[in-house]
């Protein structure tokens, strides 16, 4: 606001008391105008968002995550900003259905999903809106965001190969095609084809190499699959390797690390007998997966939602956020979990996340066709 000095050529024409009265009138007028303006603005905000003034200082999150650390981070955000975070937890599929049913009058501001594919489904359904700020641009490199800015990744990892120590010659295992060798017949374990990381792996290979080459690769690894091994989850695959039921397993990079970090001998003992390597393309790049978050279209509390996304992707908060899953941080200024010293990092394929997500339906069809069940 600029203040202008008023001068009087003839002080007798403007006595001090008259000057004071004029100033009082001006102040009262400005206060009245500000009150009316604020009232109109408040009414407009309430009409636009469907919220009353009593509960506008909040942000609502739909999330698949059930980790304790998330609530701790939300509490930190509330302490720092005064903005309360309300959370609804459910599966990705259930939350997508919920958002679609509420599309005419959105009840949430942010959708946190286990995989970029779910965020792409939300975007294609018209449920998300683009957003961009200087902080987000600093926090998240563009390769980890939707091409049009509707969503951002929160962490990242890659599917690789867990192997039984002492039973595998690592000199013969490096690229994806190496595990198709007939020498590994009956020695390979595969996890649930419905898991986002496995679907993302196949989708990434299709984006890189095409459907025909990927189908041939799938047929070969299915032929090498060990039989008679029951596994309810990826942890069971690691246990099976330690028990000598197979030599190798295709798993996400965080599985072995989660077991080692658990402190539970049920998991740490078998994990100590198993190693992990990233499988790559000939150019030494690996298909990677991400979880992420999107901003809902017509979000009732858009500005607060963007603030929360900036907070979750900040270098200070990323170690805690990704520490729950022991994935790699998305913020380049954040250090990975200490356990990554054991398996290292990886170079990512050049395909965008959108390009990979576009191949998920084709991946599902190929996995079913070739017998990855």
Question: Domain 157-288+345-370, what architecture?
Answer: 3-Layer(aba) Sandwich (3.40)
Q: Name which of 330, 217, 219, 193 is nearest 281 in CA terms.
A: 217
Do the beta carbons of residue 64 and residue 115 sit within 8 Å? no
State both tokens at 181: 């060798």
Residue 53 has what DSSP assignment?
A: G
**What is the model's pLDDT at position 56?**
80
Task: Quote the CA–CA distance of 362 and 373 in Å, as a whole number.
Answer: 15
pLDDT at 55: 57
- The CATH code for residues 53-155+290-335 is 3.40.190.10
At 269-313, the pLDDT tens digits run 999 999 999 999 999 999 999 999 999 999 999 999 999 999 999
Mean pLDDT, the chain, whole residue set: 88
Mean pLDDT of 181-190: 97
Give the model confidence (pLDDT) of 111-156 as tens digits.
Answer: 999 999 999 999 999 999 999 999 999 999 999 999 999 999 999 9
CB 110 within 8 A of CB 129: no
Closest-CA residue to 252 (of 149, 307, 302, 325): 325
Q: Which residues pair with 160 in a beta bridge?
A: 251
pLDDT at 197: 93
pLDDT greater than 60 at residue 361: yes
Strand partners, 250: 161, 190
Report residue 24 as tokens: 């009082």
Tell me the CB-side half-sphere exposure of residue 182, using CA atoms within 13 A: 0
Give the span between the Cα atoms of 205 and 301, in whole angstroms: 39
Three-state SS for 50? coil
Q: What are 4's two structure tokens?
A: 């202008």
Confidence of residue 214 (pLDDT cuts 50, 70, 90): very high
pLDDT tens for each residue of 217-237: 999 999 999 999 999 999 999
Per-residue pLDDT tens for 150-176?
999 999 999 999 999 999 999 999 899
Query: What percentage of the chain reaches a pLDDT higher than 90?
Result: 84
The predicted-structure confidence for 15-53, as pLDDT tens digits, reads as follows: 334 434 444 444 444 444 343 333 333 333 333 333 433
Q: What is the pLDDT of residue 138?
A: 97
Cα 303 to Cα 183: distance, rounded to the nearest angstrom: 57
How many angstroms separate the CA atoms of 131 and 123, rounded?
A: 13
Neighbours of 305 (CB within 10 A): 25
Over range 7-13, report the average pLDDT. 37
Contacts of residue 205, defined as CB under 8 A and 6 or more positions apart, other chains included, come to 176, 213, 214, 217, 287
Position with higher pLDDT, 332 vs 34: 332
Question: Is 85 in a helix, a strand, or coil?
Answer: strand
Mean pLDDT of 190-212: 96
pLDDT band at 92 (very low <50, low <70, confident <90, very high): very high
CB burial of 29-65 (b: ≥16 within 10 Å; e: otherwise) equals: eeeeeeeeeeeeeeeeeeeeeeeeeeeeeebbbbbbb
- Of the pLDDT bands very low, low, confident and very high (cuts 50, 70, 90), residue 67 is very high
Q: What is the residue extent of each domain of the chain?
A: 53-155+290-335, 157-288+345-370
């Amino acid at each position: 606001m600029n203040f202008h000095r008023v001068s009087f050529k003839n002080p007798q024409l403007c006595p001090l008391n008259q000057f004071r009265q004029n100033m009082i009138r001006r102040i009262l007028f400005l206060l009245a105008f500000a009150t009316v303006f604020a009232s109109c603005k408040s009414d407009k905000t309430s009409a636009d968002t469907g919220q009353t003034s009593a509960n506008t200082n909040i942000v609502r999150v739909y999330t698949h995550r059930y980790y304790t650390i998330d609530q701790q981070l939300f509490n930190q955000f509330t302490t720092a900003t005064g903005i309360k975070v309300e959370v609804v937890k459910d599966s990705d599929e259930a939350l997508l259905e919920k958002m679609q049913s509420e599309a005419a009058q959105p009840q949430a501001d942010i959708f946190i999903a286990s995989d970029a594919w779910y965020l792409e489904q939300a975007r294609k359904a018209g449920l998300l809106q683009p957003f961009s700020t200087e902080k987000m641009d600093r926090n998240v490199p563009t390769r980890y965001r939707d091409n049009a800015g509707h969503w951002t990744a929160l962490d990242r990892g890659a599917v690789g190969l867990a192997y039984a120590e002492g039973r595998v010659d690592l000199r013969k295992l490096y690229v994806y095609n190496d595990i198709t060798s007939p020498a590994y017949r009956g020695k390979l374990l595969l996890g649930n084809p419905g898991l986002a990381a496995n679907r993302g792996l196949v989708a990434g290979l299709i984006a890189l190499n095409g459907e025909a080459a990927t189908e041939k690769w799938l047929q070969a690894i299915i032929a090498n699959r060990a039989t008679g091994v029951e596994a309810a989850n990826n942890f069971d695959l690691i246990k099976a390797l330690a028990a000598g039921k197979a030599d190798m397993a295709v798993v996400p990079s965080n599985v072995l690390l989660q077991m080692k970090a658990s402190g539970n001998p049920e998991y740490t003992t078998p994990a100590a007998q198993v190693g992990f390597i990233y499988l790559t393309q000939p150019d030494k790049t690996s298909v990677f997966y991400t979880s992420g978050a999107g901003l809902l279209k017509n979000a009732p509390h858009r500005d607060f939602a963007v603030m929360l996304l900036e907070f979750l992707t900040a270098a200070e908060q990323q170690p805690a956020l990704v520490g729950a899953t022991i994935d790699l941080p998305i913020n380049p200024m954040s250090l990975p979990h200490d356990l990554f010293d054991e398996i290292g990092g990886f170079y990512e394929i050049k395909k965008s996340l959108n390009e990979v997500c576009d191949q998920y339906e084709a991946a599902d069809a190929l996995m079913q066709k070739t017998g990855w069940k």
